[in-house]
Structure 1
Amino acid sequence: MTNNITPQNIEAEESILGGILLDPNAISRVADILPPEAFYVMAHQQIYQAALDLYHKDQPCDFMTVKTWLKDYKLFTKVGGENKLTQLLDRTVSAVNIDRYAALVVDKYQRRLLINAAREIEELGYDTVTELPSVLELSEEKLFKVTVDEKDPFQPQPIHDCLRDVFNELEEGKSPAYSTGLTDLDKLTGGLTRKDLIIIAGRASMGKTWFSIYLANHVAMTYQVPVVFFSAEMSKTQLTKRFLAIHSGIDSSRLMRNEIYQDEYDSLVKGLGILTELPIIIDDTPANTLTPSRMRSVLRRIKAEKGSIGLVVMDYIQKLGDRAAGNRAQAVGKFSGAFKDIAKEFDCPFIALAQINRGVEGQANKRPFMSDIKDSGDIEQDMDLGLLLYRDEYYNPDTQDKGIMEINVAKNRNGQTGVCQVQFNPVVGVFFNS
């Protein structure tokens, strides 16, 4: 093992840098796939960083500008001075193969990362103080960083870099949120925004699960992005039957009992066909073993396979953890904090369902408030968007608001609060604008 040579390709590194100095446009072909740290030689890292910085500032990165940059940052002598830059130029004929050279350099870089990860995992294996689940999660995380090769998105940035990103978003004019398909709700919330923790709360039978299924289905259908549904409440089969009810129009309670009328088979086949094509992934890991660590592990695998995570749904938060724990509010608060972190890490909205305390049943007005969320703990602080659901017909069979769900946007970190109404059919789980 001691005779092994560290993976590297110095010639490819020199060819890349020579190609950039020779052809100022060449860097545009490798800037997004080749990080400076991929270079094995420190001087090469610094020269490439100079070219990269000039490129990001829309300045030419030729021999003279790179040389000036290195001098300005007092690195010119450290990298080898004029002789080094001239040597790189002399050894390069053209930049035509720069993409291929970049792939070779990244290959060696990933091998070095893998070797380092293996050493760190070995140390973790010997660390008997740390619990095994934590060791396994840390080990998996280290390997994923190598295989996915994604840059850390949480590096500190000067505000001028942030402004560039903001300006690009404004120029593109694309919404940073997914529409819910419900006009009045979108007017209040702006939709489901990436990186947001969204809490949907209500008493039993208010339609929380149906609403989350509707949103998951709408996002998957409209945007064709992977939607991951963690169900600590229902099994995969039960949840799938609810999705199927939406697309087939068949009574969900009969689907649960496997009762299909003869004239419904065409609708069933049509619903199956639509649902088969949707990028919806269901995880029904039991609540007592479903932890934020496990959820991250699942999401990393899906992201590695699909390229991104569009939306995460968790049904429901109070099911998780030790339900016999003395301080349930604190325990649930830890989960809400972890869910907010997951939303940021995977750049997607995270919807978590929550129960409302049964105390509202004794009130004259049974519409819930934020303070009625069961074991609320830090949930109210962690959430970006809080939606409280209420159906009057559940309590008042003779109400004029039959088929109506009230959605109270009780907290909205980035927008308005208020109440809107939508039509809801609990038989097949369909929502419409009221």
Structure 2
Amino acid sequence: MERLPPQSIEAEEAVLGGLLIDPYAVERVKHILSAGDFYRDKHGWIYAAILHLHNQNEPVDFLTVCDTLDGEGKLDATGGGAFISELINAVPTSIHVEHYARIVVNAANKRRLIQAATEVAKIGYDEELDDLATYSKAQAILRGAEPTGKPILAVGGDGLTDAMFEALAQAEMDKQAARDGYEVKWPWKAMLAYSKRWRAGQPVVVIAEGGAGKTAFCMCIASHNAMNGGKIVYAHTEDEPRVLLMRQLSSMTGVPFNEIESATYADTELVDGNTRGIHFKVPAVVLRGISSIRQAWRGELWLLPCTGKTVPETVYALERLQADIGLPDAVIFDWFFDHRMREGYENMTVKLTMDLKDLKDYAAVHKVRLLVAMQTGKIGASKGRLTAYDAFWTSSAAHYGKLVMGLKREREMVGGEPIGPFKPEIEVFISKANLDVTGSFKLQMRGETFSIFEPETKVLPETPWYD
């Protein structure tokens, strides 16, 4: 048996009835609902008559709607005045008219998508078109089936002053929320001198040479905020979760990463540990560090493996995780370009631009803070300060990054060439700051523990990790 297209006759009649008993309700639906959205033609005719009267500043009631339909020769086809009366009597109130309108629009959008899919299937069998022409035509068809009825969010006219007062009120609410809840912050005082706030929905980009400390930099930001009350999601493509956990332990405890990874410690005074029936010996500071996460951390750190995922797949994973744990205070994506590239586009620059835009859109839609780590190429590695245009293969950071930082570490000289180990000093150069201040400051990194600190303080501010 052939299935009926998506529809809701009840919702269509409820919308029309609501508009007939409350003409002012037209203002609530006219921007999302069109006559072509109705499944039944006669419902679309009635709605078009209501819209026509409303736009002409004419009263909308039983008589005027019937007269308009009669003048168009459609009154009898709709069922006459008796059907219009049925619509009015079937709905007690117009309070839910917008809800019903969205049901109608949703069904109409699905019908358009089904029709588009049918047309795409037809051109797929057209032997006169080559594959590229077929793909291009299919894209055009699908673009024509994009959802209608999206809310219009423009602010202006008489509502502009109200919107300004609302913005001031929201700023006060944000300030109060920061007092009562948690506000994501940068770990370093020098950084706060340039950027007071990490704003939701506005991507921050970090660019560095491979091995220069971008993951340590990002993990430091993540753990600092998790320690102090934030819910942080760390989406990573390079290191497996076990390696990131060991790096975090190393940074927290000061025990070199290589010792933790190899389970071979220079410290001769070790304590016993046990998990899943496996016994091990570690320095006491390691167990205290693990215990501190439950005892002293006021927030949460979530590690989300994204190796082998495209950016759209990563965004989907973030949204699935968000459904389980709630909205995060910040998301860190480490690192961009190491993810799997999306299909369908040969141009690498186009792919990367679309990928960063997808991440930006995710942050904007969900109003979360986003930090994206990128790597520079050979040219960037050989120059001084890194700018927004020095990310490998793409300048998208200059377009979509609202705050862009470059990390630079000099190397030790070997045989007259700068090819030795990285020096501990990190210069952070803020090359783009739409709402903040550009400039540079210095940090220090202990390479064996991946810990980053300000030279004058030697420790991270406000992060006592255990008593």
Scaled by the length of structure 1, the TM-score of the pair is 0.61
Corresponding residue for residue 36 of structure 1: 33
1:211 aligns with 2:217: yes
1:368 aligns with 2:366: no
- Flag the 1:27–1:422 CA change in 2: closer, same or farther, 3 A: farther
> Which ranges in structure 1 are unaligned for 5 or more consecutive residues?
51-62, 322-329, 397-401
Who wins on radius of gyration, i.e. which is larger? 2
1:303 aligns with 2:319: yes
- Flag the 1:239–1:267 CA change in 2: closer, same or farther, 3 A: closer
Letter in 2 for 1:200: V
What is the alpha-carbon distance in structure 2 between the residues aligned to residue 47 and residue 248 of structure 1? 72
Corresponding residue for residue 378 of structure 1: 395
Q: CA deviation at 1:387?
A: 0.9
* Mean Cα deviation higher: 189-198 or 107-116: 107-116
Letter in 1 for 2:433: N
Q: Which of residues 162, 170, 173 is equivalent to 1:172? A: 170
Q: Which of residues 51, 56, 79 is equivalent to 1:71? A: 56
What is the alpha-carbon distance in structure 2 between the residues aligned to residue 108 and residue 186 of structure 1? 49
Q: Which of residues 410, 413, 428 is equivalent to 2:431? A: 410
Say if 1:226 and 1:279, in contact at 8 Å, map to a contact too: yes
- Flag the 1:243–1:283 CA change in 2: closer, same or farther, 3 A: farther
Say if 2:33 and 2:105, in contact at 8 Å, map to a contact too: no
- Flag the 1:430–1:24 CA change in 2: closer, same or farther, 3 A: farther
Say if 1:241 and 1:255, in contact at 8 Å, map to a contact too: yes
1:200-247 Cα deviation digits (max 9, x unpaired): 22334432111122334556677866735242x333432343345556
Letter in 1 for 2:305: I
Corresponding residue for residue 57 of structure 1: none
1:306-359 Cα deviation digits (max 9, x unpaired): 3578535141438877xxxxxxxx966445522442234222535132236478
What is the alpha-carbon distance in structure 2 between the residues aligned to residue 351 and residue 80 of structure 1? 58
1:154-196 Cα deviation digits (max 9, x unpaired): x795755995767644430148x95434444244235444554
- Flag the 1:102–1:253 CA change in 2: closer, same or farther, 3 A: farther
Q: 3-state DSSP class of the match of 1:353?
A: strand
What is the alpha-carbon distance in structure 1 between the residues aligned to residue 5 and residue 337 of structure 2? 47
Alignment of 1:95-114 (within 5 A): 108=107, 112=111
Say if 2:195 and 2:437, in contact at 8 Å, map to a contact too: yes
Q: 3-state DSSP class of the match of 1:188?
A: coil
Q: Which of residues 273, 279, 284 is equivalent to 2:307? A: 284
Q: 3-state DSSP class of the match of 2:194?
A: helix
Alignment of 1:201-350 (within 5 A): 201-217=207-223, 227=233, 229-231=235-237, 233-245=238-250, 251-258=256-263, 261-263=282-284, 264-271=286-293, 277-285=300-308, 294-303=310-319, 306=322, 310-317=330-337, 333-346=349-362, 347=364, 349-350=370-371
Q: 3-state DSSP class of the match of 1:284?
A: coil
- Flag the 1:296–1:403 CA change in 2: closer, same or farther, 3 A: same
- Flag the 1:108–1:212 CA change in 2: closer, same or farther, 3 A: same
Q: 3-state DSSP class of the match of 2:287?
A: helix
What is the alpha-carbon distance in structure 1 between the residues aligned to residue 158 and residue 255 of structure 2? 52
Say if 1:318 and 1:354, in contact at 8 Å, map to a contact too: no
- Work out the percentage of aligned pairs sharing the same amino acid: 19
Say if 1:320 and 1:332, in contact at 8 Å, map to a contact too: no
1:420 aligns with 2:441: yes
Aligned residues: 379
Say if 1:332 and 1:375, in contact at 8 Å, map to a contact too: no
Say if 1:317 and 1:352, in contact at 8 Å, map to a contact too: no
Corresponding residue for residue 408 of structure 2: 390
1:185 aligns with 2:202: no
Q: CA deviation at 1:417?
A: 0.8
- Flag the 1:73–1:96 CA change in 2: closer, same or farther, 3 A: closer
What is the alpha-carbon distance in structure 1 between the residues aligned to residue 42 and residue 192 of structure 2? 52
Alignment of 1:86-125 (within 5 A): 88-94=87-93, 108=107, 112=111, 115-116=114-115, 119=118, 122=121
* Mean Cα deviation higher: 310-319 or 97-106: 97-106
Q: 3-state DSSP class of the match of 1:268?
A: helix
Letter in 2 for 1:206: A
Say if 1:229 and 1:312, in contact at 8 Å, map to a contact too: yes
What is the alpha-carbon distance in structure 1 between the residues aligned to residue 256 and residue 39 of structure 2? 63
Say if 1:317 and 1:335, in contact at 8 Å, map to a contact too: no
Say if 2:332 and 2:372, in contact at 8 Å, map to a contact too: yes
Say if 1:220 and 1:279, in contact at 8 Å, map to a contact too: no
Letter in 1 for 2:54: W
Q: CA deviation at 1:301?
A: 4.8
What is the alpha-carbon distance in structure 2 between the residues aligned to residue 186 and residue 124 of structure 1? 57
Letter in 2 for 1:311: V
Say if 1:36 and 1:46, in contact at 8 Å, map to a contact too: no
Bigger helix fraction = 1
What is the alpha-carbon distance in structure 2 between the residues aligned to residue 46 and residue 344 of structure 1? 42
- Flag the 1:6–1:375 CA change in 2: closer, same or farther, 3 A: closer
Say if 1:203 and 1:356, in contact at 8 Å, map to a contact too: yes
Corresponding residue for residue 13 of structure 1: 12
- Flag the 1:101–1:205 CA change in 2: closer, same or farther, 3 A: closer
Scaled by the length of structure 2, the TM-score of the pair is 0.58
Say if 2:18 and 2:97, in contact at 8 Å, map to a contact too: yes
